[in-house]
Amino acid sequence: MSSLELYPQDEKLPRGEHVAFNLYMITALLLFVLMMLLGLTMRMTQADWTPVQAAMFYKIMTMHGAGMVGAMSLASIAVMWFFLRKYVSLHLWAFVSNYVLFMLGALCIIWAVFVGDFASAWTFLYPLPVHSMGLWSNGAAAVFMVGYLLIGVGMLLFYLDAAAAIIQRYGNLGRGLGLQWLFGGAIDPTHPKAVVASTMVIIANSLGILAGAVVLVMCLINVYDPEIALNALVAKNLIYWFGHMIINATIYMGVIAVYELLPRYTGKPYGVSRPFLWSWAASTVFVIIVFPHHLLMDYAEPRWMLVMGQIISYAAGFPVFLVTAYGVLTNIHRSGLRWTMPSMLAVLALFGWAAGIVPAIIDGTIGVNRVMHNTQWVPGHFHFYLLLGVLPMVLTLLYHVVGSRRRAPVNSGTDRAGLLLYVVGGISFCMVFLYAGHMSVARRFSTHLPEWLPYDRAGSIAAMVLILGMLVFATRIIVGLLKAPVDADAAHPAG
């Protein structure tokens, strides 16, 4: 169980770890801001407010998707690492290697998009990368895929190091998940939630990355030897197994910050329980097999897989609603919670996850997907739980860490104003997407029909408000992270 002390000694970062953590988080924050600006450019293009041509729009779309998923992964891995290292022995070289490979991969992707003109979307569907109609070369497609492979290898290295560390400490991954207590026995209340969540992510996301590696290598072979053709449906299954898992994993890594930090601000213990362990055990399975809900329009897919996609989408809501969100609400209820930036962001994060999953589950229904698929309903729900769920989880940790530096107050008027802008802009931005989706506005269109423009304009204005809030966060946190670390005990007493 995590400590109730606000800044326990075992979270202090030695110099090497401190530099690595700052590199991860500052890179991720800059990426978030840049990718948000690209997102705003897309919305403004659809709103007919910027003169961006279709070729550039789809390059921006490809970069925005790949960049946001990359930034979310980078930041949430840093969250997992920050807490997991307290309980098991992680190697700094693995953490740093992931960063280096991520940066190399990012450079490949940036080159492929902005020099090689690659514009096939981040979840490119085979055989699109080699059917550009002359707009990008096969070489650009290959460099983009090599970029993904480099990032995947880095993440896998980190997960393997974490898996080895958990096995070394707990005996096997099942004991890391707490499976030995599912059906009985006295649960060790000190078993860390961070270890349970990390183990789940390691199991699920390693499989997803391996699936991604398989399809990437197959596509790379196809780029240079078109005679070796792939089955488009098999390729799509692998792409979405990988794509869904890698973005889903960010929320399961990010939530560790809420588990670890929120009880310190409420002052109420928040130990593991049997429902909690059941929830994570079930989620481990659900996350691996839920991806067919991306293929509900592929009627050639075996019927049982489509049914599974719907049923598991429903079932996946149970752990979120009944254990994590409910657990957080009971932890803050009548607690005397101290409302500071980390605690406000933690509560926002759980709200964003729980509320954002509602339209996602509904879209997982085959009958609904038949009219909602690939409308703006889809970016509506994933922006909801990424912008108002995962990102606030990362910001929870970052505001907490910055708060341990004496000269960076974490609850200033500027911070609160930033949060207000972020929440109002974020909710409005996502609800406009959802509203437009229910009105059948297509996603991934560079040019919109005249009747769709009001939604695009409202979405653009909301995005501007959101980005203003994000700029406040990014500035405050980057300045705070760059200040020399000082002993926090005098400024922030425990409790």
**Which residues 1-40 are close enough to bind another protein by CB under 8 A?**
none
Cβ 358 to another protein, closest distance in Å? 4
Cβ 367 to another protein, closest distance in Å? 4
> Which of 193, 236, 264, 383 is the binder for another protein (CB under 8 A)?
236
- The CA distances from residue 174 to 115, 390, 425, 485, 487, in Å, are 46, 26, 42, 37, 38
Write the interaction track for another protein spanning residues 57-96; mark x where CB under 8 A is met and - where it is not: -x--x-----------------------------------
Cβ 119 to another protein, closest distance in Å? 6
Q: Is 128 in the site for another protein (CB under 8 A)?
A: yes
Q: Is 228 in the site for another protein (CB under 8 A)?
A: no
Stretch 396-455 residues interacting with another protein (CB under 8 A): 434-435, 438-440, 442-447, 449, 451
Q: Is 179 in the site for another protein (CB under 8 A)?
A: no
Q: Which element (helix H / strand E) includes 76? A: helix 54-84
- Judged by CB under 8 A, which stretch of 26-34, 108-116, 244-252, 315-323 contacts another protein? 315-323
Q: Is 300 in the site for another protein (CB under 8 A)?
A: yes
Cβ 314 to another protein, closest distance in Å? 5
Stretch 323-352 residues interacting with another protein (CB under 8 A): 325-326, 329-330, 332-337, 339, 347, 350-351
Q: Which residue's CB is nearer to another protein, number 8 or number 127? A: 127
Q: Is 322 in the site for another protein (CB under 8 A)?
A: yes
Q: Is 479 in the site for another protein (CB under 8 A)?
A: no
Stretch 352-371 residues interacting with another protein (CB under 8 A): 354-355, 358-359, 362, 365-368, 370-371
Cβ 85 to another protein, closest distance in Å? 30
